[in-house]
Amino acid sequence: MDLYYHIRSAPCQPVVFLARHLGLELNHKVTSVYDPKDLEALKKVNPQHTIPTLVDNGHVVWESYAILIYLAEKYAQDDSLYPKNPTERSVVHQRLFFDSGMFQMATLQAVSQYLVNKPISEEHMAKVKRGVEIVEMYLTNSPYVAGQKLTIADFSIFVSFCSLDMMKYDLTAYPNVARWFAKMGTHIPELGPTRKVIRKELKALLDSLNK
Output phi, psi for 49, to 5 deg.
40, 55
Return the number of other C-beta atoms located less than 10 Å from residue 203's C-beta.
17
Provide the CA 193 distance to its chain's centre, in angstroms: 16
Measured CA to CA, the distance from residue 62 to residue 65 in angstroms comes to 8
Instruction: Tell me which residue of 48, 50, 71, 51 sits closest to 59, measured CA to CA.
Output: 71
Return the number of other C-beta atoms located less than 10 Å from residue 70's C-beta.
17
CB of 26 within 8 A of CB of 1?
Answer: yes
* Catalytic residue (one of 9, 64, 112, 156): 9
Decide if 9 is catalytic.
yes
Provide the CA 43 distance to its chain's centre, in angstroms: 23
Measured CA to CA, the distance from residue 178 to residue 194 in angstroms comes to 20
Measured CA to CA, the distance from residue 122 to residue 132 in angstroms comes to 15
Q: Which residues are catalytic?
A: 9
